[in-house]
């Protein structure tokens, strides 16, 4: 007889926990044994005793936190079954960023898939998502509303190139998360035939080098020399989202503020960030992809970790799929935590779920506390709170 | 339509005037006639089709989406046009669903209309096994494959010209079907632009003047020249584009009473007084009315042509036939629209009742007689007076008004002063320097350099407005409400109260609500404050902590007070805004209701009714 899904996976203050295998997945606090889906700092934190992840994710963590980010590490080869405690785990590409993987856990004839963050859209910088049929599918819902339908990225990149052509005397400053998005934008620009140097903010440099060393061609990507910013008329510059409104970016010639993010789909979000050229490029699934991925997995039960849980749960329920929101805290949107200069410390950005009444999105309250000085940010609004 | 949509999209994000101009000229340069002409007409408000109501759009989308998901989405996005544009099920979904179900089903899908009691419910229970098409937004790309080789032709993407010409001829009953067809054919940005266009709510920060300036920049032509020929032209303006591009002759003005761009003022700041020499300036009252330009001339047939324009050049003659009748002169004068009854200027509140009426009936005219209080003259006959010094123009204006001798047009009196202190005293108490009963309708002073020419736009150093100081009160924040549009994720509207004696001792009573006056950085902090101090939730509203020993004090500025039966406190504030956030001040030290009562008593001699939101206000 099959085990119940909750025997395989439960929710703890540290994050999702597999009692039979005695490990956590993407824990937000240091734990004994952690399986990490991908390298974004809200999922991959330092200080665990042992970490299992894909080779690329381990490399990314090493670059971010130093080689001693965990007591010990173990590489998880893709698509290979590994025994951990009393369960079998398997890492399968998730299509989110370089090295990102879903973790499937099998025991007693039941399979649970923790997808981490994932997308179905094409991405030249990472392996595409592979569907893993399962009984319980654990999904994010960052863009879990039917208004989020990501357009073709090529069109978005052409928008940027058209603007560069129209305003050759201005610099285009593109905010993009340092891991994944930045490199994807570079790769997309190259695919569209842009062969001039793409200038990088210092914070982008090491991860971009890592991507290049993994064999992803990104062309010439010099680091911006502070003293020469005023000479970069007509250039495309990629920097962390937090820098697009900084003094740092104001030193470029009449900068055009761009931001590559799924949030840019909603005009108000773009305006709140002071973005003049929003580029709807997301590393997450849009609504259609969330829905059809759930169907493809064949799962009879869906748990929604974070994001716009309510809408996706509603959709599942109306399609005869059991679903529940986990209201998990500590996971940002689109690598929001990237913006912090340091990886969050224990307990930061996280509160016991009991006091929240279970119906609020996490970032609206938690992340601002990490960045008290930042101006209007593209936070997901407190969508859930008026919901029944 | 797609090019136009892309233009609107980009303009909406662009704060800089020059960059907007560049986007506009780029569009005009690369878009053929007649599309670009209709785009120009859309941006200058010159299109004459019957607009679609938001209800129509809503109805269409509700037929096509799960109402619960639509509600969540609208709540999140905060803008109907945008929500609909994004959530609209792409036609691929529909076709695909039909194919995969192997049945020829009617379009649009029939499930779950709001208000059809339980229809959505039925669909929910029947689930995916029914032969109904799966709901479009969820259809997903797995079904994209069957559409390849599908018999349906690809949807026809309408041009802007097609949309506008169709709107002009389509009957009201056919409109929903046409709109739905277009929505199916367009992408998200196209749908958004279409809704903005057909509901006539472009709001992309482009004034008619800016659009005309962009046209002028296609050639080496001054914007004023476009302005002069403008009123003789009609969409799609092919002759205008031909002229600016050097392919055609200058169009006939065709309008012997054209609009000339208004001259605008800057606010007078405290530091200005030390720099400005009072003897070089003249002052008038600043009237709480609507800025108008009245122009009159003779057509080619010798008949008089009389026009009244708003400060942006919109022809509003039809709304003021009583005033048009009085324009028995040739030239152009600049002044303020007021309502005068029995020789006394009425409040702005009264004026509003004359505005925005569809039918201008004799009863309306008798009840709200329009009056033009003039303060400048731009043309007399064929003579351009704009290069003359203000003092000289004033003399010409006085002579013209005297000649007219019509009670509906009079002069805005000068305010005599020697020093800035004199003027400050006059501004503080207009009645004491001869404003008489009209003091009610005065909202400060206009200060004009005696030698200033009449220049279009807002030139620096000539004209200043010196508004009366606002009233200030320290109040305690009681509720925060989420904003809309740009602020849809922030608690940006604050209800505040002052102390009064209640049955159980002192209590806070709400006296107003304000949603601006703070910076973006302050908004982030106020939003955080509301979230961290919430004690109650009512939908989008949160009640925050307040009391003698807790609460946030807001210094609120406002223009006046009025008694109100709608408010618990019995007072309503006019134009309240957050002047300062008093993070330092204990709530117990906020003001009491008596502070407001005192202002109210003073205000009851000088009636200052509440300005309704959304009224078109001049910015002199």
pLDDT tens per residue, range A316-347:
999 999 999 988 776 754 333 333 333 322 22
CA–CA distances in Å: residue A102 to residues A12, A178, B420: 20, 21, 74
Kindly list the residues from chain B whose CB atom is less than 8 angstroms away from the CB atom of residue A291.
138, 140
Show the tokens assigned to B319: 């709304």
Kindly list the residues from chain B whose CB atom is less than 8 angstroms away from the CB atom of residue A288.
137-141
Among B407, B412, B414, CA closest to B373: B412
Q: Is any Cβ of chain B less than 8 angstroms from the Cβ of A214? A: no
| Cβ–Cβ below 8 Å for A315 and B138 | yes
Let me know whether A38 and A125 are in one domain: yes
Residue pair A316/A144 in contact (Cβ under 8 Å)? The answer is no
Question: Quick check: A371 pLDDT over 60?
Answer: no
Per-residue pLDDT, A62? 96
Residues in B 65-84 with any Cβ partner in A closer than 8 A: 65-66, 68-70, 72-73, 75-79, 82-83
Question: Quick check: A116 pLDDT over 80?
Answer: yes
| Cβ–Cβ below 8 Å for B19 and A167 | yes
The length of chain A in residues reads 388
The length of chain B in residues reads 620
Q: How many folded domains does chain A comprise?
A: 2
Per-residue pLDDT, B96? 37
Whose structure tokens read 């048009």? B324
Q: Is any Cβ of chain A less than 8 angstroms from the Cβ of B537? A: yes
> Quick one: how far is CA A132 from the chain centroid?
20
CATH number of this structure's domain B471-605: 2.40.50.140
What's the pLDDT band for B511 if we cut at 50, 70, 90?
very high
Percent of chain A residues topping a pLDDT of 90:
73
Q: Give me the phi and psi of A77, to 5 degrees please.
A: -70, 140
Helices then strands, each counted (H, E), chain B: 23, 20
Mean pLDDT of chain B: 82
- Check residue B172 and report its DSSP letter: T
Let me know whether A202 and A274 are in one domain: yes
d(CA A150, CA A279): 10
Residue pair A276/B15 in contact (Cβ under 8 Å)? The answer is yes
Q: What is the sign of the dihedral through the CA atoms of B377, B378, B381 and B385?
A: positive
| Cβ–Cβ below 8 Å for A364 and B489 | yes
d(CA A24, CA A138): 14
Chain A residue with minimum CA distance to B6: A159
d(CA B200, CA B46): 11
| Cβ–Cβ below 8 Å for A267 and B12 | yes
Q: Is any Cβ of chain B less than 8 angstroms from the Cβ of A248? A: no
Residue pair B587/B546 in contact (Cβ under 8 Å)? The answer is yes
Per-residue pLDDT, B153? 64
Kindly list the residues from chain A whose CB atom is less than 8 angstroms away from the CB atom of residue B486.
268, 271-272
Containing structural domain, residue A34: 5-147+284-386
Let me know whether A72 and A160 are in one domain: no
Per-residue pLDDT, B611? 34
Whose structure tokens read 């169009």? B251
**Average pLDDT in the B299-303 region?**
82
Question: Quick check: A261 pLDDT over 80?
Answer: yes
Per-residue pLDDT, B104? 34
Per-residue pLDDT, A1? 52
Per-residue pLDDT, A366? 33
Chain B residue with minimum CA distance to A278: B13
Could you give the dihedral angle defined by the CA atoms of residues A22, A28, A31 and A34, in that order, rounded to the nearest 10 degrees?
A: 50
Q: Which residue has the higher pLDDT, A363 or A85?
A: A85
Chain A residue with minimum CA distance to B65: A146
Q: How many CB atoms lie within 10 A of CB B174?
A: 11
Residues in B 251-310 with any Cβ partner in A closer than 8 A: none
CA–CA distances in Å: residue A71 to residues A52, A58, B410: 11, 13, 88
At which of A279, A302, A336 does a domain end?
A: A279
What's the pLDDT band for A386 if we cut at 50, 70, 90?
very low
Largest CA distance in chain A: 69
Q: Is any Cβ of chain A less than 8 angstroms from the Cβ of B146? A: no
Whose structure tokens read 């404050």? B529
Let me know whether A12 and A140 are in one domain: yes
Q: How many CB atoms lie within 10 A of CB B331?
A: 22
Let me know whether A273 and A290 are in one domain: no
Residues in A 299-358 with any Cβ partner in B closer than 8 A: 308, 310-311, 314-315, 317-320
d(CA A106, CA A135): 10
Q: What is the tens place of the pLDDT at every residue in B380-429?
A: 998 999 999 999 999 999 999 999 999 999 999 999 999 999 999 898 88
Question: Quick check: A36 pLDDT over 90?
Answer: yes
Let me know whether A159 and A260 are in one domain: yes
Let me know whether A78 and A108 are in one domain: yes
Read off the CATH number of the domain in which A143 is found: 3.60.15.10
User: Which residues have C-beta within 8 Å of that of residue A359, sequence separation ≥ 6?
Assistant: A310, A327, A384, A385, A387
**Average pLDDT in the B313-339 region?**
92
| Cβ–Cβ below 8 Å for B15 and A276 | yes
CATH superfamily of B266-467: DNA ligase/mRNA capping enzyme (3.30.470.30)
CA–CA distances in Å: residue B527 to residues A133, A375, A378, B484, B579: 43, 12, 14, 14, 16
Least confident of A77-86, B65-74, B195-204: B195-204
Per-residue pLDDT, B539? 66
Whose structure tokens read 């036609």? B91
d(CA B31, CA A234): 25
Residues in A 141-160 with any Cβ partner in B closer than 8 A: 145-149, 151
d(CA B134, CA B139): 6
Q: Among A276, A381, A386, whose Cβ lies nearest the Cβ of B489?
A: A381
**Where in chain B are all domains bearing CATH 2.40.50.140?**
471-605
Question: Quick check: B126 pLDDT over 80?
Answer: no
**Average pLDDT in the B497-525 region?**
91
Per-residue pLDDT, A195? 95
Residue pair A44/A26 in contact (Cβ under 8 Å)? The answer is yes
Radius of gyration, alpha carbons of chain B = 29
Percent of chain B residues topping a pLDDT of 70:
85
Among A248, A73, A381, A98, CA closest to B489: A381
Q: Is any Cβ of chain B less than 8 angstroms from the Cβ of A79? A: no
d(CA B309, CA A17): 71
Let me know whether A331 and A249 are in one domain: no
Let me know whether A26 and A113 are in one domain: yes
Mean pLDDT of chain A: 85
Least confident of A178-187, B265-274, B377-386, B409-418: B265-274
* Reported pTM: 0.66
Let me know whether A266 and A133 are in one domain: no
Let me know whether A194 and A257 are in one domain: yes
Chain B: nearest CA to A108, how far in angstroms? 30
d(CA B514, CA B558): 10
| Cβ–Cβ below 8 Å for A287 and B138 | yes
Among B521, B518, B506, B507, CA closest to B478: B507
Percent of chain B residues topping a pLDDT of 90:
48
Let me know whether A103 and A65 are in one domain: yes
Beta bridge partners of B376: B334
Question: Quick check: A225 pLDDT over 60?
Answer: yes
- At residue A99, the 3 state secondary structure works out as coil
Q: Are strands B571-574 and B560-563 parallel, antiparallel or unpaired?
A: antiparallel
């Amino acid at each position: 007889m099959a085990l119940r899904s909750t025997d395989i996976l439960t929710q703890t203050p540290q994050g999702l926990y597999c009692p039979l295998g005695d490990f956590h997945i993407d824990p937000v606090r240091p734990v004994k044994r952690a399986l990490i889906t991908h390298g974004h700092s809200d999922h991959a934190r330092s200080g665990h005793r042992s970490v299992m992840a894909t080779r690329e994710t381990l490399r990314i963590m090493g670059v971010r936190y130093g080689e001693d980010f965990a007591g010990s590490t173990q590489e998880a080869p893709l698509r290979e079954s590994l025994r951990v405690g009393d369960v079998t785990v398997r890492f399968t590409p998730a299509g989110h960023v370089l090295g990102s993987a879903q973790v499937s856990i099998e025991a007693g004839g039941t399979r649970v898939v923790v997808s981490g963050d994932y997308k179905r859209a094409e991405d030249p910088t990472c392996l595409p998502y592979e569907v893993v049929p399962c009984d319980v599918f654990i999904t994010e819902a960052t863009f879990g509303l039917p208004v989020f339908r990501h357009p073709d990225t090529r069109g978005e990149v052409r928008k940027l190139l058209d603007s560069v052509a129209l305003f050759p005397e201005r610099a285009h400053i593109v905010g993009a998360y340092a891991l994944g998005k930045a490199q994807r934008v570079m790769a997309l620009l190259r695919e569209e035939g842009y062969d001039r140097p793409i200038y990088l903010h210092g914070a982008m440099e090491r991860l971009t080098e890592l991507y290049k060393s993994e064999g992803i061609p990104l062309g010439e990507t010099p680091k911006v020399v502070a003293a020469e910013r005023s000479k970069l008329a007509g250039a495309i510059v990629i920097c962390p989202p937090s820098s697009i409104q900084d003094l740092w970016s104001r030193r470029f010639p009449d900068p055009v503020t761009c931001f590559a993010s799924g949030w840019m789909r909603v005009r108000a979000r773009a305006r709140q960030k002071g973005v003049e050229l929003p580029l709807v490029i997301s590393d997450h699934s849009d609504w259609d992809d969330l829905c059809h991925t759930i169907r493809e997995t064949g799962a009879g039960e869906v748990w929604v970790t974070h994001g716009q849980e309510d809408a996706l749960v509603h959709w599942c329920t109306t399609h005869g799929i059991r679903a529940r929101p986990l209201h998990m805290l500590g996971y940002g949107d689109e690598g929001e935590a990237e913006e912090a200069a340091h990886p969050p410390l224990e307990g930061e950005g996280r509160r016991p779920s009991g006091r929240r009444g279970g119906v609020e999105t996490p970032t609206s309250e938690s992340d601002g506390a990490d960045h008290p000085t930042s101006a209007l940010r593209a936070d997901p609004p407190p969508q859930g709170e008026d919901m029944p | 339509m797609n090019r136009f949509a892309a233009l609107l999209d980009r303009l909406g994000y662009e704060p800089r005037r020059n960059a907007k101009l560049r986007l506009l000229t780029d569009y005009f340069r690369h878009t053929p006639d007649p599309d670009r002409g209709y785009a120009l007409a859309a941006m200058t408000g010159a299109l004459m089709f019957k607009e679609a109501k938001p209800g129509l759009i809503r109805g269409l989308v509700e037929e096509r989406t799960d109402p619960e998901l639509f509600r969540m989405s609208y709540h999140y996005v905060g803008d109907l046009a945008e929500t609909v544009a994004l959530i609209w099920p792409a036609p691929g979904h529909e076709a695909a669903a039909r194919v995969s179900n192997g049945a020829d089903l009617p379009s649009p899908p029939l499930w779950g209309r709001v208000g059809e009691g339980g229809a959505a419910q039925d669909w929910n229970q029947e689930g995916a096994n029914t032969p109904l098409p799966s709901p479009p937004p969820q259809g997903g790309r797995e079904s994209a494959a069957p559409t390849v080789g599908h018999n349906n032709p690809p949807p026809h993407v309408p041009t802007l010209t097609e949309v506008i010409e169709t709107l002009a001829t389509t009957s009201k009953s056919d409109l929903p079907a046409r709109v739905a067809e277009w929505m199916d054919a367009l992408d998200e940005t196209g749908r958004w632009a279409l809704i903005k266009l057909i509901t006539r709510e472009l709001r992309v920060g482009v004034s008619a003047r800016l659009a005309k300036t962009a046209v002028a920049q296609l050639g080496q032509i001054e914007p004023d020249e476009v302005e002069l020929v403008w009123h003789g032209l009609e969409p799609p303006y092919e002759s205008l584009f031909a002229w600016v591009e050097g392919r055609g002759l200058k169009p006939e003005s065709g309008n012997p009473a054209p609009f000339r761009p208004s001259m605008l003022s800057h606010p007078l700041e405290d530091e200005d007084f030390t720099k400005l020499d009072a003897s070089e300036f003249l002052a008038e009252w600043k009237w709480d009315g609507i800025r108008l330009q009245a122009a009159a001339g003779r057509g080619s047939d010798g008949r008089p042509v009389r026009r009244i324009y708003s400060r942006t050049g919109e022809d509003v003659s039809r709304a003021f036939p009583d005033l048009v009748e009085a324009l028995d002169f040739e030239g152009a004068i600049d002044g303020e629209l007021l309502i005068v009854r029995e020789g006394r200027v009425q409040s702005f509140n009264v004026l509003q009742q004359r505005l925005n009426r569809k039918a201008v009936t004799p009863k309306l005219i008798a009840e709200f007689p329009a009056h033009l209080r003039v303060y400048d003259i731009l043309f007399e006959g064929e003579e351009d007076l704009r290069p003359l010094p203000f003092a000289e123009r004033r003399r010409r204006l006085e002579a013209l008004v005297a000649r007219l001798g019509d009670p509906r047009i009079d002069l805005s009196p000068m305010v005599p002063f020697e020093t800035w202190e004199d003027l400050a005293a006059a501004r503080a108490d207009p009645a004491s320097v001869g404003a008489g009963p009209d003091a009610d309708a005065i909202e400060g002073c206009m200060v004009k350099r005696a030698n200033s020419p009449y220049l279009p736009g807002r030139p620096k150093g000539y004209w200043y407005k010196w508004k009366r100081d606002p009233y200030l009160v320290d109040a305690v924040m009681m509720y925060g409400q989420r904003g809309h549009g740009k602020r849809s994720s922030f608690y940006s509207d604050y209800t505040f109260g002052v102390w009064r004696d209640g049955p159980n001792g002192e209590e806070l009573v709400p006296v107003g609500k304000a949603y601006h006056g703070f910076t973006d950085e302050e908004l982030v902090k106020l939003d955080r404050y509301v979230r961290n101090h919430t004690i109650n939730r009512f939908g989008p509203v949160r009640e925050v902590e307040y009391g003698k020993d807790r609460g946030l004090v807001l210094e609120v500025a406002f223009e006046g007070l009025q008694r109100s039966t709608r408010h618990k406190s019995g007072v309503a504030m006019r134009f309240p805004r957050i002047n300062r956030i008093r993070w330092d001040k204990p709530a117990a030290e906020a003001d009491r209701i008596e502070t407001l009562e005192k202002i109210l008593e003073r205000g009851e001699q000088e009636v200052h009714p509440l300005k309704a939101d959304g009224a078109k206000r001049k910015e002199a």
